[in-house]
Amino acid sequence: MSALFQFSYQKTQLIKYFLSYICKKFLFLKMFSSKFIQFFLQLDRRERQNLKLWVNSPIANAREDVVSLFQYLFSKREITKENTDKRTVFAFVYPQEPYEEQKMRYLMSFATKCLESFFAYFNWQQTPQMEIDKIHYINEKQLNSYCRQQIVEVRHQMKQQPLRNSQHYWHAFQLEVEQYNLSSKNKRNIDFNLQEVSNQLHYFTIAEILKQACIAISIERVSAQSFDFPLLKSCLALVEETPTLKEIPAIYMYFVCYRLSVYGGDDNFEELDALLNHYEAHFTQSEIKDVFIIALNHCIKELNVGKSLYAQHAYRLYLRGLEKGFLLENGMLSRFTFKNIAFIGIKKLKDYDGVLAFIHNYQHYLHDNYREGTVMFNMATLFVEQKRYEKAMPILQTIEFEDVLWNINAKSMLLRMYYEEQEYESLIALCSSFRLYLNRQKELGVYKESYIRLIKYCLKLIKYTGCNKQQKALLLQQAESESNLFEKEWVMEMVGKL
């Protein structure tokens, strides 16, 4: 009986320990994954320095416990799940009090609001909007001479800075409105600036409608959604008919973007390509990135329908995108983008030295989990195209890649090498295992049939070895008529050598 009681007691203690462990892990996770911590983690060094001043300002924050919470976070070299345990943080902020969940929630809520206010203020401080709001306040207070002086200064500042995106014209519109409000006080017979008010408003509106229409097109193409822009046709017609509108960077850049997105065309692409170089300084990096992606997607689309001229355009845009950081997400380069760049350089342009330099220079931007496999796959592709089969084979025979399509490409490269090296037994065995592998894949779509046909032609190449001219011509005709055959050019080249 006592043994049973002892077992029951031990079991109870084990359950308590387990529950305590789970609760602690849950508290770690809950605070670390909270909006407050995730917001805090996005701050760079300069923003953190400014946040310290913000938190300690009585106007921005009047709570000492919020100050203590931020002091705790600022003291950590790295924010982790462990050092954001709620009980640990609570003990630092309220050292003489027992832990209270509700009080901790209130603290995080107040701290989050303080942080959100800082975000709003810090962003506002970086834009002309702050100066315009200041002018509006002075104008409302009837401080006319000071207001007039401020308008002149801000107008000069806006002319000096390079940005000419839609927001520039929005701020210019607001400034002209303040100028009108100042000029019209108790005056009726004066040459008001209403034309400038109208101009800046229309520049902003047309630019923003064209910009959002370009975004809508890109979304419509990958989803079932559709969008209506009632003023779009009028805006397009105005730009077509009004030469002065074509001189506004924010309008003409998106006008050409829209034409390229809807109609395609070499002329539209060349014009957008030139505008990207000419107008880059007039837009924010994120805006230029969006336009850059539209141009790059057009290149890929044209390459997919056989326009080889676009290989050079795509390759150049890819490398420029890397140099400018447009293709990096949180400092990382997608392994698929990496492969696309290498593929164009190897297969389309035969720029072997350039691709080797690209792999060496940019492999460090790949995620640790995929770096080795991605580098090996692209190096193997390069070796195959260079006919350095002694280097390519060991890679492709031993490495299993994360992506199904990469595995299929690897097997198809092995088929090529086995045939050219006359390793027919290995080729026949690979054809059999490759076909089984393809049949197990349920989501390959048209790719499956394309690779199955490659397998069939590899076996036909063995079968037709030593064939007569008539048989060779018939096989060549069959291969040429195939519309869905992977490595079609290689197959026809090998048939020609029979």
Q: Does residue 362 form part of some domain?
A: no
Supply the range of the domain harboring residue 227.
132-326
pLDDT tens-digit map of 237-291: 999 999 999 999 999 999 999 999 999 999 999 999 999 999 999 999 999 999 9
Residues 93 and 160 in one domain: no
User: Is pLDDT at 340 greater than 60 in this prediction?
Assistant: yes
Q: How far apart are CA 208 and CA 212, in angstroms?
A: 6
Residues 483 and 461 in one domain: yes
- Looking at 110, 125, 140, the residue that finishes a domain is 125
pLDDT for 287: 94
pLDDT tens-digit map of 155-174: 999 999 999 999 999 999 99
Q: Count structural domains, the chain.
A: 3
Instruction: Please state the φ and ψ torsions of residue 471, each to the nearest 5 degrees.
Output: -65, -40
Q: Which residues contact 253 (CB under 8 A, 6 or more apart)?
A: 272, 275, 279, 283, 291
Q: Does residue 1 form part of some domain?
A: no
Residues 238 and 276 in one domain: yes
pLDDT tens-digit map of 196-253: 999 999 999 999 999 999 999 988 887 878 899 999 999 999 999 999 999 999 999 9
User: Is pLDDT at 18 greater than 60 in this prediction?
Assistant: no
pLDDT band at 465 (very low <50, low <70, confident <90, very high): confident
pLDDT for 385: 93
Q: Span 482-491, mean pLDDT? A: 87
Q: Span 129-155, mean pLDDT? A: 93
- Which residue in 61, 33, 362 sits closest to 378, CA to CA? 362
User: Is pLDDT at 1 greater than 50 in this prediction?
Assistant: no
User: Is pLDDT at 27 greater than 50 in this prediction?
Assistant: no
Q: Span 430-437, mean pLDDT? A: 93
Residues 288 and 421 in one domain: no
User: Is pLDDT at 120 greater than 90 in this prediction?
Assistant: yes
The CA-based angle 305-307-311, given to 5 degrees, is 115
- Looking at 125, 142, 157, the residue that finishes a domain is 125
Q: Does residue 312 form part of some domain?
A: yes
pTM exceeds 0.85, yes or no: no
pLDDT for 466: 83
Q: Which residues contact 294 (CB under 8 A, 6 or more apart)?
A: 214, 218, 257, 260, 261, 272
pLDDT for 159: 93
- Looking at 55, 90, 125, the residue that finishes a domain is 125
Residues 104 and 166 in one domain: no
Q: Which two tokens stand for residue 52?
A: 């310290």
Query: Among positive and negative, which fits the CA dihedral 347, 349, 352, 355?
Result: negative
Q: Which two tokens stand for residue 401?
A: 């890649």
Residues 138 and 113 in one domain: no
pLDDT for 447: 80
Residues 121 and 238 in one domain: no
Q: How does DSSP assign 434-457, residue by residue?
A: HHHHHHH-SS-THHHHHHHHHHHH
Q: Does residue 272 form part of some domain?
A: yes
Residues 274 and 420 in one domain: no
Residues 435 and 462 in one domain: yes
Residues 215 and 298 in one domain: yes
